Chains A and B, each alone.
Chain A
């Protein structure tokens, strides 16, 4: 038996399986054991207890176990969105990306915990309790004794599942940074592809025009593998890209000589922690050393992005949550009239954050406010898109001609839960999504790559962004970073 299976990447395990060095049941046993060991972290809402590893080794993924954020519909498996509203909801169909992964031979290990309906940046606002970061977690102590760190959110469960080795990759969803942020805080690779590259069909909507299926992996090669399996037009999602996205192909060793790396000056904020600023600076130097051209660029409308993001996403939330009336599915309230039943059910079914956003969204959408807020936000969103178009456009067309943007993912490393809950959800998001949500506003792909471990002992990560549908260049450069930094990853020791 090969040791440390749970510390390996998906590509490595697939190779071991192919060689016969390790068997599928051994892989499941290792992952299941790890899931048990880290149970206190609360990464999974539902674990699927099918007999695994017997005969399902078909396809390119050969039965490889993966985690699915609990806002993707899974046929016959509870899909709760971490909400009391959907506590008993069992879909009759698979989300397209889940379907594609299963068709390629992936096996679902379980449904991962998250902020309710993906609204949050800490994975602490879940009807099933908060997700805890494995970093610096003392598994010897009880939950209460631990002054644990947050995972980032909203896809915290998926990040933990991959970081700890409970599975080899996991689906997340990224509307304002919900994949990249927890990936950064938990030290995994987190890819948010171009809007439209992956189908949203079966992903329960938060903010439709920004929701992007994303992937947590332990390596950039893994990210490329799963991106290739999942990308492509889906007739069931009218916003999925019509053209076929070419497969990403990565070399054994990636070189970046031909690339122009942009450093957006608006991303230098006073709140940015010195350690992340150092890492950013250091990485820019590495690119430069490797022959890439590193230039300073400007995305002038960035400062308005977070406010607009808040207005637009709240509007979508208010609208998307309107279907939760408890009639066709979901928690049903009681009362003597339809209105009473509705009010009762929604009061009990939704958590406070969801309710706040519904109220805010409805406020922005009121007839007297629409042009004042929502329409303005749409206009500024257009300006933000134009900012990105301009930096990626070639010099000949008046653009900056950069291939990639290198930025921080978050202003700091993970906070302790006790500190994190001092602020409310809304201001926490505003703080944490500051570097990530512009990619959602503009639709460009972004990836979070771990760089090093901070003095405090927590992962420090950076973000790359590329032009729409240029995942190829994005992942090439991400692989370059990965090879430069040789991030050690999370080392959990349960032997004692």
Chain B
């Protein structure tokens, strides 16, 4: 059944892509003939997962009523001043560590000026001259884990998000929502070392997973938490990069893929026709699947950068330099290093090399943000079967995640508690549905799932003599009711209907305490050995 579905989708995919195949082949041919190859660099804006905004105390939340999360500072009311949110700096430091960057122990904020209706200050506070981190590397898997690619990270900077403008064409009114204004952003800038849709999408996916795992960014692209600006140029034989076009605000991996393919095609066609690619900013139209020039944005915009005078330099400390007083209002990088979660790249390695998972299985857990939970459960109970834990998470936990919307880290159930619960399941003290129910109850209960199992008296019988007794009773009872009950019994391969009937009765007689998994083999062995009695 499963295979059939797979075949269908593959066929559909082939069909769909064949409609574009001509043009795609075309550009590929052009590109190959003229030795053109794409060079792609990204600027990624990741909204920092913090309860408060970057420079004010107002709440950072998605989908709140319009302009309900706006402090005086966010609205740039005169006299207000920025106060840096420590949590946002921590997120930046974690990200810098994960991306192997050099941290600038002293970084600075700058003002970038431009008039825009949803930028209330008339400038954005960013880090242009001396960002918090520079010069990193980041590796990510390609071709289903068969290859690994490493890309150079130019810099990571902290900056403010803008508000949102909503334009009503009918009335020619623009409405401004400042809920997003001053939300903390991490801008991550890569070198132009990416070469196409595959590696670019793989990089963004891995980065997204990493940011999620670090707690730095929730990474929901559809909510605009992770936005990609793409710089793409075609380099010739001499590997000198051509003129690049920038496509702004791409918010989805599938969009990213479309944009890259469209831009490559567009630029190759221009070059092939003897034209030149214009250096410009373009926007992606996700309905028409094309990029269009954003002519309203001035091309030679001078942002008139200047140092932000209301903020002292941002200083980071380490164990050696940390102030000795009790004031905790500083960031010790060494302390964060010690608290640093394991990043997806390393987790994947552990899952595959030490904890018995395939690439796809590891990928599944990473995507569902369950990988470290999985690892912790197996570290807590090394005797647990990896397959049992994986399957339990894949089916039960993911279903629960879906219905109750929790994440592993905030479930309130520890890895040890889940390990204890699954050990009970593995030892047939409880069955699968009981383990799921106990876990689900524990989400909203102070008790551990195991305690819930005990309190509900769900622990089954594992004394095989007792089980055998129940089985004997059940067979006797069934034979009493119907003397022909065992008449058609094939002792080599006992009839499933007969076995099921007996097992069913055993479960009933034991009031559910005898578990099917233990009872079934006993019943089969009794039936096989009936002759000898």
Contact = CB atoms under 8 A, between A and B. Distances in A.
A322 B309 contact: no
A72 B78 CA distance: 9
A237 B84 CA distance: 10
B72 A336 contact: no
A95 interface: yes
Contacts of B83: 235-236, 238
A362 B76 contact: no
A324 B178 CA distance: 16
A83 to B, nearest CB: 10
A237 B81 contact: yes
A325 to B, nearest CB: 7
Nearest to A363: B304
A319 B111 contact: yes
Interface string B66-77: 000000100111
B122 A328 contact: no
B179 to A, nearest CB: 14
Interface string B106-130: 0000010101110011110000000
A238 B81 contact: yes
A89 interface: yes
Nearest to B308: A208
Contacts of A239: 81, 309-312
A205 B123 CA distance: 15
Interface in A305-358: 315-316, 318-319, 321-325, 327-329, 336, 338-339, 342
B79 A209 contact: no
B76 A323 contact: yes
A204 interface: yes
Contact of B120 (A208, A323, A366): A323
Contact of A73 (B78, B123, B174, B304): B78
A250 B460 CA distance: 84
A365 interface: yes
A208 B79 contact: no
B299 interface: no
B305 A365 contact: yes
B326 interface: no
A316 B122 CA distance: 13
Contacts of B11: none
Contact of B123 (A236, A322, A336, A374): A322
B174 A208 contact: no
A189 interface: no
A438 B455 CA distance: 77
Contacts of A235: 83
Given A86-B78, A322-B121, A327 B305 contact: no
A157 interface: no
B82 interface: yes
Contacts of B121: 322-323
B122 A322 contact: yes
The secondary structure that dominates the B interface is loop
A13 interface: no
A235 B18 CA distance: 62
B81 A236 contact: yes
A268 to B, nearest CB: 32
B80 interface: yes
Contact of B306 (A95, A200, A238, A365): A365
A238 B117 contact: no
B84 A338 contact: no
Interface in B114-156: 115-117, 120-123
Contacts of A480: none
Interface in A67-117: 72-73, 79, 81, 86, 89, 91-93, 95
Contacts of A323: 76, 78, 120-122
Given A327-B176, A366-B304, A316 B309 contact: yes
A322 B115 contact: yes
A362 B122 CA distance: 13
A285 B273 CA distance: 86
Contact of B79 (A201, A328, A336, A374): A201
Contacts of B75: 328-329
Contacts of B310: 205, 208, 237-239
Interface residues of A, number: 47
A92 B72 contact: yes
Nearest to A240: B81
Nearest to A318: B304
Contacts of A294: none
A203 B178 CA distance: 23
A89 B78 contact: yes
A204 B78 contact: yes
B84 A328 contact: no
Given A92-B72, A316-B309, A367-B302, A322 B113 contact: yes
A342 B115 contact: yes
Contacts of A187: none
A487 interface: no
Nearest to B76: A323
Interface string A437-478: 000000000000000000000000000000000000000000
A202 interface: yes
B311 to A, nearest CB: 5
A489 B76 CA distance: 42
A325 B117 contact: yes
Interface in A205-260: 205, 207-209, 235-239
A267 interface: no
B511 interface: no
B177 to A, nearest CB: 12
A332 B116 CA distance: 15
A139 interface: no
A86 B79 CA distance: 12
Given A236-B83, A336-B172, A93 B302 contact: no
Interface string A353-378: 00000000010011100100010001
B115 A204 contact: no
A345 B312 CA distance: 33
Nearest to A368: B302
A91 B81 contact: no
A367 B84 CA distance: 27
Contacts of B116: 338
Contacts of B306: 315-316, 319, 365, 370, 374
B72 A93 contact: yes
Contacts of A367: 302-305
A277 B49 CA distance: 62
A280 B46 CA distance: 60
Nearest to A329: B77
B115 A73 contact: no
Nearest to A330: B78
Interface in B290-336: 302-307, 309-312
Given A236-B83, A319-B123, A328 B76 contact: yes
Given A338-B117, A370-B305, A238 B84 contact: yes
24 contacts: A79-B78, A81-B78, A91-B72, A91-B78, A92-B72, A93-B72, A201-B80, A204-B78, A208-B310, A238-B310, A319-B113, A319-B306, A323-B122, A325-B117, A327-B117, A329-B78, A339-B115, A342-B115, A365-B305, A367-B302, A367-B303, A367-B305, A370-B304, A370-B305
Interface of B: 72, 75-84, 111, 113, 115-117, 120-123, 172, 174, 176, 178, 302-307, 309-312
In the A-B complex, the 10 residue pairs with the closest CB atoms: A322-B122, A208-B309, A365-B304, A209-B309, A202-B79, A204-B78, A73-B79, A328-B75, A323-B76, A323-B121
